[in-house]
Structure 1
């Protein structure tokens, strides 16, 4: 079932890399069911509850992180550009969903 979810997420281009210009800072997200989850791939981290509770049970990942890895492999990432001036507001919006 998790493999199906990852395939759907990737095929619907719900893996997003938000790039802030001119700094080139990046924030990765996956759009879920009514919620956008923040990912830190360099730390194997996802903000979803499944990741948190999965870690407590010894799991290494969640389907959002798996979707990101598949999207990178298949070059199916949605890139969205923003101005550096929008960085703080973007973070506030993302954090408010946690």
Structure 2
């Protein structure tokens, strides 16, 4: 009878070890799956950051170009103003003015 009892205890111990091993395997898989998900999320995040940086660089260049264009227009307007002041008619503000 004690052999049967010992065999039953051994069976329970083996079953416990098997459950423990299965649990460890499941944990390892979950950990590996989690690690894979984290790596994928990190790659997606880095890709998004790269796109945002490229977009930011593009906007900065556009802003710089806009500033240069605005400065060019301002300089052209000032040059036009100076030129128009040099050619004022003695009859008015413009050469084409006619006084009655």
One fold, TM greater than 0.5?
A: no
TM-score (norm 1): 0.16
TM-score (norm 2): 0.16
- Higher Cα Rg, which structure: 2
Q: Which has the higher strand share?
A: 1
